[in-house]
A and B are shown apart, each in its own frame.
Chain A
Amino acid sequence: MHRTALSARNLLMRKILDALYLGSAWLAALFMIGVLVMVLLSIFGRLLQFYVPGTDAYAGYAMAGAGFLALAHTLKSGEHIRVTLIIGKLTGSARRGLELWSLSVAVLLAALLAVYSWRLAWQSHQFHDISTAADATPLWIPQILMGVGTTVLLIAFVDEWVLELRQRRHHDAGSTRHE
């Protein structure tokens, strides 16, 4: 009874986390379309003689959104690359040890990224840092995308770390084919 409650909770947690990664990836995909739309706007603006100020800046923010928000999903799909020359040759506890080490380093660095990304947005707000281009966007607004994306990445790395510890992690994540 206790066990099933635990596994039901785990299952729910799993579902929530996976939805978080996928949802944020879909948001990233929408921003990818945003890049396209912004660049097309500036092309058509020139052709049809209308002017939308700041399309170049908006394309840049959308690109940042596409990159940061997809981080966790890309990790979970095993598409962030790494060198698995050594890890791939190891088995058993040696492999687990090295996986835990590299995941710990990743958790630490992702945490630093997330913390300082939020600090960037917060400081931009404090400093009234406003885009110097024609868009005049207060920069803390698009910078939130960086904070959210790196935070979801941090969650995904912690998730991986816990799965590795419980020996439930799929080892194909980020590994490469061997000859």
Chain B
Amino acid sequence: QTKWDLPAAYPATNFHSVNLATFASDVAKATDGKLAITVHPGASLFKAPEIKRAVQGGQAQAGEILLAAYQNEWQMFGADGLPFLATGYDDAMKLYKAQKPILEKKLGEQGMQLLYTVPWPPQGIYSKKAVTSAADLKGSKWRAYSPATSRIAELVGAQPVTVQAAELSQALATGAVEANMTSGATGVDSKLYEHLKFYYDVQAWLPKNAVIVNKRAFDALDKATQDAVLKAAADAETRGWAASQKVNTDTLAVLKANGMAVEPPSATLKADMMKVGDTMLKEWLEKAGPEGQAMLDGYKK
């Protein structure tokens, strides 16, 4: 019997983690228990930023990572974190198809293999005050938790503020943070509706979680087991994309039920944000080079 450890960063009840648990039990069933995958959710084995290198170095055979978080390392990882490039699930799937071969090649060079990806629900704008145009965000304290979110803040003239997820709740209560950009799902998980009253469903981007496996660990499996893993991964991908859409609908309803105004962006806000997106795409292309352009052409085709 082969045993794999699969660290993941999100709580056991999160839909990504639930999907992972099903994936692990599918593999166990399909291989008659020959491959046992232990999922370690909630950062109980490795913390989020450590998971990729733990898989790369063989400390864990597989793991779940947020691709866009690794943009600092390689621009292409951040392609699904570019605001307003792919909004909505259909576009996100198209982007994934354009991104996939490049991702697979890079992960292969790093001694890893991509098993499947599942997107988070689309990212919207949470705000204390009503926002009808980007000008309304000027000067408001905007939580910057990634290079992209801090750049957006700069472009709309908001004040980027560093507050860790753990302290977000208190920072919102005291007004240290007045605006935040994340999905409806994360908004429900961190109970943003307790302090912020407006949600604008701008569908800025759909960042993907990727489940990756160490190449040596995968190659050490026999062919039948490898096929079982790939089959279970394909199923998990289909299941995960559907689950994500359902979570999106459900959580937006929860936000509403908790007294939030959940609205589509006004035409002005949408146009303003598209401009931000264009600027950031241009900046990204400068850094990502021909590889980025090729992926973009593939996506726009």
Binding site for B on A (CB under 8 A): 42, 45-46, 49, 51, 53-56, 123-124, 127-134, 136
Closest to B177 in A: A46
Interface contact A56-B110, CB-CB below 8 Å: no
| B141-165 Cβ-contact flags toward A at 8 Å (1 or 0) | 1001011001000100001111010
- Cα A131 to Cα B159 in complex, Å, equals 23
Q: What is the CB-to-nearest-CB distance from B300 to chain A, in angstroms, rounded to a whole number?
A: 28
In the complex, which residues of chain B have a beta carbon less than 8 angstroms from the beta carbon of A55?
Answer: 162
Interface contact B162-A134, CB-CB below 8 Å: yes
Q: Is the interface of B mostly helix, strand, loop or mixed?
A: mixed
When the two chains form the complex, which single residue of B72, B110, B159 contacts A49, counting CB atoms closer than 8 Å? B159
- Cα A42 to Cα B159 in complex, Å, equals 12
- Cα A49 to Cα B150 in complex, Å, equals 13
B255 at the interface (CB under 8 A from A): no
B57 at the interface (CB under 8 A from A): yes
Interface contact B159-A51, CB-CB below 8 Å: yes
- Cα A42 to Cα B161 in complex, Å, equals 8
Interface contact B164-A56, CB-CB below 8 Å: yes
Q: A49-B159, A51-B150 are in contact. Are A129 and B144 (CB under 8 A)?
A: no
Q: A46-B176, A131-B72, A132-B70 are in contact. Are A51 and B144 (CB under 8 A)?
A: yes
When the two chains form the complex, which single residue of B48, B73, B147, B159 contacts A129, counting CB atoms closer than 8 Å? B73
- Cα A133 to Cα B73 in complex, Å, equals 11
Q: A127-B57, A127-B110 are in contact. Are A136 and B159 (CB under 8 A)?
A: no
Interface contact B144-A134, CB-CB below 8 Å: yes
When the two chains form the complex, which single residue of B57, B72, B160, B162 contacts A123, counting CB atoms closer than 8 Å? B57
Q: A46-B176, A131-B49, A134-B144 are in contact. Are A53 and B57 (CB under 8 A)?
A: no
Which 9 pairs between the two chains have the least Cβ-Cβ distance?
A136-B72, A132-B69, A130-B72, A130-B73, A51-B160, A132-B49, A129-B53, A49-B159, A42-B162
Q: What is the CB-to-nearest-CB distance from A81 to chain B, in angstroms, rounded to a whole number?
A: 27
B113 at the interface (CB under 8 A from A): no
Closest to A131 in B: B72
Closest to B73 in A: A130
In the complex, which residues of chain A have a beta carbon less than 8 angstroms from the beta carbon of B203?
Answer: none
Q: What is the CB-to-nearest-CB distance from A134 to chain B, in angstroms, rounded to a whole number?
A: 6
B117 at the interface (CB under 8 A from A): no
B56 at the interface (CB under 8 A from A): yes
Interface residues of B in 213-240 (CB under 8 A from A): none
- Cα A133 to Cα B71 in complex, Å, equals 10
Interface contact B162-A56, CB-CB below 8 Å: yes
When the two chains form the complex, which single residue of A128, A129, A132, A134 contacts B150, counting CB atoms closer than 8 Å? A134
9 CB-based A-B contacts, threshold 8 Å = A45-B162, A46-B176, A51-B160, A51-B162, A53-B144, A56-B162, A130-B73, A132-B72, A134-B147
In the complex, which residues of chain B have a beta carbon less than 8 angstroms from the beta carbon of A134?
Answer: 144, 146-147, 150, 162
Q: What is the CB-to-nearest-CB distance from B168 to chain A, in angstroms, rounded to a whole number?
A: 13
Q: What is the CB-to-nearest-CB distance from B209 to chain A, in angstroms, rounded to a whole number?
A: 14
